[in-house]
Each structure stands twice: as C-alpha cells, then as structure tokens.
Structure 1
Amino acid sequence: MSLPLFLVPELPAGDRWRLDGPEGHHAANVQRLGAGEALLLSDGRGGLLRATVAAAHKGALDLDLLDRERVAPHDPRITVVQGIAKGERAELAVQLMTELGVDRIVPWQAARSIARWKDAKPVERWRATVREAVKQSRRAWLPEVTDARTTKQLALTGTVLLLHEEASAPLSTVPLAGDITLVVGPEGGIAPEELAAFPDAVPVRLGREILRTSTAGAAALAVLSVRLGRW
C-alpha cells in the first residue's frame, strides 16, 4: 500500500520534526497514524521526504526524517482552460484532472457557463480540491489554479487544443510541440464567437461520444499522458 502524503510549506531539515497544524491533525486524529508507521511529506514543488512516526499526540506527530527525493516537473507542461461548470461538476473536473497529471488549471468564465463567479470563494474551493487530489494521488507537484478569466483575458500559448464536438481530428493523432494548452468548454459548449477568438487553436475530439465538461478534460489528459510518455 502506498504511503499517505501530507503537504507542508517547506520540507523540514534535520532528523526529527513535528507535523502539526491541519495536516498534523488529519494525520494523527483522522488517519490515526501511530508509532512506527511511515508517511510522505511534500512541499508541492517536487520535494518528497519519507518519514516514520516516532510518537503520536493529539493533533500532531513527531517524525523521524529519512529519505529525500526530488521529482522533476513535467516537460512539456499541460495547462487546462476549464469552462466553469455548475456545482459539483466543476470540482469533479478539477479533482480528476489533478489525479491525471494536469500542471495548471485556468478557470474560464465562458459565454455559456451557467455558473457566474462573483467573488474568490469558488476558486479557493478549486484550489482546496486540487490539494486533496494531490494528496490522494501522491503527487510531488501541486498544480497552479489561476484566478478566473474571461475569453478576452485568456493568453493561450504553446500547442493549443480545443475540445469540440464538431471537430474531425482525433486528439490521438494531432501533432504536439512544446507546452500544451487544452481548452474545455462548459456545459453548453463553446460559443461560435469563442471559436473565432482562438484562431490558432486546433479543434480536436475524443471520439464519437460527447463527454460532460466534468470528464472531458480528464479523458483528454489520459490520451496526452500516453502520447507524451508519462504513462
């Protein structure tokens, strides 16, 4: 069984360290880790540290620090511009994409997005969802979640792939070069004026079936992970 992972601002130095705060509470009180059990610490920037529990306390663990590892960032990187969806569908999309290796997520206030963000709370929920998915999937890198952007605010770079139900080119066959930006529309799809706003994007499709916005990005990431040799 893989070791549980906890995120910390910085990997500690030395041989002994106390994990406290929210992560310490979760490790000690929720997961009930005890003396002799092993775990991983990550700084979310490629650093991993294996440790064993020396002593358990209420809301904290004393750890013996062991092996350290540095995981290189993905190259090329994959950014997903995710159309903002309503309710739990958006957070499901974020969770799945994080587990499947996305490097950066840009919430997109698309023309046909039903949900309209009026404050910072939704993006903070996306960031919290990313943290939990990183821990669940034992990732060494924490994907960035930017602030929400409108179509005019998007700056798309690298190979830009636009998932569209009327596209003829399969995602499995289009040329890839450099970093990749994948554009996923909201529940209502991508509006015609938005297609015109992305003149350099390559429209692609996953197959005959039409996927929900909550699963399309994850499915596309799986295809790209195979093509890029990540899997």
Structure 2
Amino acid sequence: MTNALFLLDPDHDDVPVNSDELNAGWKITLPAAVRRHAVQAMRLRRGDGLQLSDGRGLRIEAVMDDPDAGLVEVHAFTREPAPVTRLSLVQALAKTGHDEQAIDVATQIGVDEVVPWQADRSIAKWKAGRTDRKWGSVLDAATEQSRRAWRPELAPCVTSRQIVSMCLRANVHGDLVIVLHQDATDTWSSIEGLAGELSERCLADGRPRTIHVVVGPEGGISEDEVKEFVDSGAHSVRLGTNILRASAAGPVALSLLSRALGRYA
C-alpha cells in the first residue's frame, strides 16, 4: 500500500524542501499542522512510512522517527518532472459546492491547473481572501488523497472576457480550448484527435502547451459566451447525450483526455 502523503509549504523557512539540501538520513521536523494530521488523525507511529512533498514535484520517502516531536527521517527522494502537455480546468462558480466537488475530483484525476470563472449565469460569487482559501484547501486535500507530487496551480478568478483573451492567446501559443456545451454539434472524438496532435508537438519540441476545459455553472453557458469563445478560437463540443452536472462534466472530460494523452496506463 502506498504510504500517506503530506504537503509541506515550500516557502516555509523552517522546512527546507530544496532537493539540493536533502540526503538520506536527514531529519525533518514536521510543521504543527502536518504533525497533527499525521500523528493524531492518521495515527502514524515510530517506524511507519510516509511521503512528503512540496507540491512542485518533490517526493520524499520518509519514516516517522519521533511522533511526539514530529520528527521524520528521510530515506529517499525524487524530483518528478511536470507534464509537458498540461491539463487546465476552467470551472464556473456553482452553488451548493458543485464547483468544489469538480476541482476535488479533477485534482485526483491529475489536472495541472484550476481556473475559477465568474460566468454570466453563476449564482455563486467569488470572494477574494475567502473563496480562494477554501478552493486551495480542497486542492491540498485532494493532492494528498491522490498521493500527487504536483499540486494543481490555482489561478485568479477570471471573467468571460478574460476567457476570450485566453482563447486568443491559445491561437498564438498552440494551446487548445475546449468548451463543453450541451447544444454543440461537434462530438468528443474530434477533440481527442486534436489533443493527440498537440501532445505530439509538445514531445517534438519540448515546449509545454495547455489544454483548457471550460465548464459552465448549473444553468449552463450562455449562448453569447459560447459564441464569443468559439469566435475567438475555442472548440465547442458535447460529451454525449446525457446532461452532466457542473460537478461532473469537467472530471469526465479530463478523464477522457488523460487516457488519450497516455496518462492512464
């Protein structure tokens, strides 16, 4: 069984997680919050294995040395490369926690970036300093749950006009923007072909590119928004005949893309 993973703050002065400073046998004193989670919630004892990560690719294999002091001993460490073909979820704000459910599952699937979107039909409102902390906590928990060494980036909340700009930039940089829309005429099969071509270009030149998946709120994306996005270079597609909730559409699309990109063996 894979050992539990705990995120360390890469900017915390008391916990240096630069791989250049690590050696087998090195001791790390866990921050208080991580110690409580590991010892009190997870019940880890002396000699139990665990993983630590900075959320930026560093994975540390360690063993609990002194639970009371929160002291662990490093056994090994690796630095995992970031994906060259990145997956981004542009998730519209949705009520009753459907947006948080979406980013939770998306993180477990392997999304690389989460972009909150204040859509025209979003009932929920983004509150700086509050909603961003809440979404960040969801990403942290899902990263630990899925044992990921890379935590998804949480981008600033965007407007529909900013998504138009994203579509225009994608045309220049070779990225791909996919808008999930129930009335679209294009089907998913065409998207997998485009994703495969983008991935091949990334492998050929080594330059990172991003596939953005845009998901609307409960009431769906307005016709004006869809038209603006498509006119700016986005691809409007439907996943199938069933209409999915705002919490499910993004994760389903990301799962299909992950398989098409070879992330799932």
TM over 0.5: yes
Aligned pairs for 1:55-94 within 5 A: 55-57=66-68, 60-94=69-103
**CA drift at 1:9:** 2.4
Q: Runs of 4 or more off by more than 4 Å in structure 1? A: none
Equivalent residue number for residue 179 of structure 1? 210
Given candidates 207, 210, 213, the residue that maps to 2:243 is: 210
CA distance change for structure 1 residues 63 and 84 in 2, over 3 Å: closer, same or farther? same
Q: Does 1:128 align with 2:137?
A: yes
**SS of aligned partner of 1:147:** coil
RMSD: 1.4
Q: Which one of 2, 6, 16 corresponds to residue 27 of structure 2?
A: 16
Amino acid at match of 1:185: G
**2:94/2:218 contact within 8 Å kept:** yes
Which of residues 208, 217, 222 in structure 2 aligns to 1:191?
222
Hey, what's the Cα distance between the residues in 2 that align with 1:84 and 1:185?
8
Secondary structure, in 3 states, of the residue corresponding to 1:153? Answer: helix
Alignment of 1:153-172 (within 5 A): 153-154=162-163, 155-156=165-166, 157=170, 158-172=175-189
Checking the alignment, whether the CA contact within 8 Å between 2:87 and 2:211 is kept in structure 1 is yes
Pairing 1:54–2:65 present: yes
Q: How many residues align?
A: 229
3-state SS of 1:106 partner: strand
Establish whether residue 140 from structure 1 lines up as the match of residue 171 from structure 2: no
Whether the aligned pair in 1 keeps the contact of 2:217 and 2:246 (CA below 8 Å) is yes
- Residues of 2 paired with 1:29 and 1:112: CA distance? 43
After alignment, is 145-154 or 5-14 more displaced? 5-14
Provide the C-alpha distance between the structure 1 equivalents of 2:44 and 2:147, rounded to a whole number of angstroms: 17
What's the % identity of the aligned pairs? 38
CA displacement at 1:64 relative to structure 2: 1.2
Of the structure 1 ranges 29-38 and 117-126, higher mean CA displacement relative to structure 2 is found in 117-126
Code of the aligned partner of 1:117: W
1:121-142 superposed Cα distances (whole Å, 9 cap, x missing partner): 1121111100000000001101
Among residues 96, 105, 128, which one is paired with 1:96 in the alignment? 105
More helix by share: 2
- SS of the residue 2:224 aligns to: helix
After TM superposition, give the deviation of residue 146 of structure 1 in Å.
1.5
How far does residue 162 in structure 1 lie from its aligned partner after superposition? 0.6
Flag structure 2 segments of 5+ consecutive residues without an equivalent.
11-16, 199-208
Instruction: Please give the TM-score of this superposition, normalised by the length of structure 1.
Output: 0.94
Do 1:163 and 1:203's aligned partners in 2 also have CA atoms closer than 8 Å? yes
CA distance in 2, matches of 1:87, 1:13: 43
Distance across 2 between alignment mates of 1:206 and 1:18: 47
Amino acid aligned to 1:184: V
The equivalent residue for 1:45 is 56
SS at match of 1:127: helix
Residue equivalent to 2:206: none
**1:4: Cα distance to partner?**
0.4
TM-score normalised to structure 2 length: 0.83
Question: Contact 1:109/1:151 (CA < 8 Å) preserved in 2?
Answer: yes
Superposed displacement of residue 171, structure 1: 2.1
Q: Which ranges in structure 1 are unaligned for 5 or more consecutive residues?
A: none
How big is the shift at 1:117?
A: 2.4
Deviations 1:5-55 (A, max 9, x none): 011124263411211321111111111100110000001000001000112
